[in-house]
Copies of this chain bind each other. A is one copy, B any other.
Amino acid sequence: MQSLQHQKTEQVQQILQEAKIDCWLIWVRETSLIKDPVLPLIYDGDLVWPSALLYTRSGERVAIVGNFDAGGVPEGLFDRVIPYNEGISETLVAELTRIDPASIAINESLDDVAADGLTAGMKALLLQVLSGTPYVSRLVSASPVIGRLRGRKTPQEIERIEQAVGITESIFAELHEFLVVGQTELAIHRFVHERMEAHNVGDAWQANHNPAVDAGPNKAFGHLGPTETRTKEGQLLHLDFGVRFDGYCSDLQRMFFFGPPTRIPTEVAAAFDAVRGAIAAAADRVRPGALGHQVDSVARRFLSERGYAPFQHALGHQIGRAAHDGGTLLGPLWERYGDAPNGILESGNVFTLELYATTKHYGQVSLEEDIVVTGDGCRFLSHPQQKLLCVQRG
């Protein structure tokens, strides 16, 4: 079987044709110090000296890399590997002159972090290298290329995410067995990490915030670490947890209740149903061609119609090699999300659906599921939480 990098590389030409971009230039250096987030998708390795990876609309692929890096370029990713010694400028300008593209996409984006892997200094260096050529005025953002490339998961990528989701659900089930009243958030965090080790998976984000563990009503959910706070009879426990399996991430939230189902407070049950219902309603709206903010607004409306304050984040982000995989966002049109909620959903996109409703006495009720966009709707990669997971030991 082809490597994932080869599979993703095969997608590039079609995407350049759709985006009407003649040439895509990935321009990087010292990638072990700072790595363009698109690189792992199409190049499995590090590049030390300034390097130019060129992909053309006609399907040509050329790598210009330092002489020490040249031998490490994997077979089959490029038609030609051109090593250089003292400086790259001459070779890069010569190749661009030969290709003579009307547009050159570079990895710069205001809104899309995943398409913003070019650093400011490397951009300035590129402008120096190209100064006096016509190409300096032909630079465009590679965001439409990278958004599609990251977003259009291949069947193998979806399979890996689905496996990550499955392992996450297994660990939640193991945690359900482990939980008793009176454990600290820190002990729960530790248990989950032991299980991750047993399942041989990594963290989808920073280990000390993964899982986020929130016991009881007194913590605003967010990117917080676990504390000495203990689980308590009659209270909720919330986890936000993702694993990395074979390079791909899951991202799920689950809610536990300490007590029998008959003791679940009415306002908690109502909030849970509102959140679960909002996720289901949003999933119903997901289909290729929908805009990100349209899906977000379905969930937002569902919640506000039931009298809940709006949730202060986007309904869903893409997941893939990163837990926040960039591209189209299922989010509101707020300044901090830029243009990402205007993106168009495509088949093969994998999104989270996540939101919370705030109760008066029990804190937030928050759930998160993972879905893949299909030809005519979506398919859940996770098994949506249908009721609070009750813990009656303690």
Query: Which residues does A use to contact B, with CB under 8 Å?
Result: 29-30, 32-37, 45-46, 48-50, 66-72, 85-89, 106-125, 128, 205-206, 208-209, 219-225, 312-313, 322-326, 334-336
Contact = CB atoms under 8 A, between A and B. Distances in A.
Contact of A86 (B85, B114, B334): B334
Given A33-B326, A37-B33, A209-B72, A86 B335 contact: yes
Contact of A222 (B71, B111, B117, B205): B71
A125 B113 contact: no
| Chain A binding surface, main DSSP class | loop
B32 A206 contact: yes
B124 A110 contact: yes
**Stoichiometry, copies per complex:** 2
Given A66-B336, A85-B312, A110-B121, 16 more contacts: A32-B205, A33-B113, A33-B326, A34-B113, A45-B209, A46-B206, A46-B209, A67-B222, A69-B222, A69-B223, A71-B224, A106-B120, A116-B120, A118-B120, A119-B119, A119-B120
A120 B118 CA distance: 6
B116 A117 contact: no
Given A119-B116, A124-B110, A30 B223 contact: no
A335 B33 contact: no
Contact of A67 (B107, B109, B206, B312): B312
Nearest to A335: B87
Contacts of A335: 86-87, 89
A37 B37 contact: no
11 contacts: A30-B324, A32-B206, A33-B324, A34-B117, A46-B223, A87-B336, A89-B335, A110-B128, A116-B120, A118-B120, A120-B120
